Amino acid sequence: MTPLDKPLKRELEIGDALYTLTLTPEELKLVPKGRRKGLVLKWRDLVSGDAALATALQASLQDAATAGTAR
């Protein structure tokens, strides 16, 4: 198998939107095409389960914010 020793970029189409996926030895990054900010996930967090916890927390915060603005 080939080791991941430098960034590897690929373009993805999810739904109707284009994204850039960058894989590095430390993390993966999914960014809408043409943007700089996106989702960053450290491999260490993914393996330890912290990524799932962080995702659940972020989703609950977004739900709370949406409920607060819907009033």
In a domain, 3, yes or no: no
- Residue 1 belongs to a domain: no
Torsion of CA 18, 62, 46, 25, to 10 degrees: 50
Domain residue limits at 47 = 8-69
- pLDDT tens digits, 14-54: 999 999 999 999 999 999 999 988 888 888 888 888 777 77
What is the reported pTM? 0.69
Within-domain flag for 2: no
Q: At residue 49, what is the residue type? A: G
Q: How many domains does the chain have?
A: 1
> Who wins on pLDDT, 59 or 44?
44
Q: What is the mean pLDDT of residues 63-69?
A: 67
64 phi/psi in degrees, rounded to 5: -65, -40
What are the percentages of helix, strand and coil residues in the chain, rounded to 5?
A: 35, 35, 30
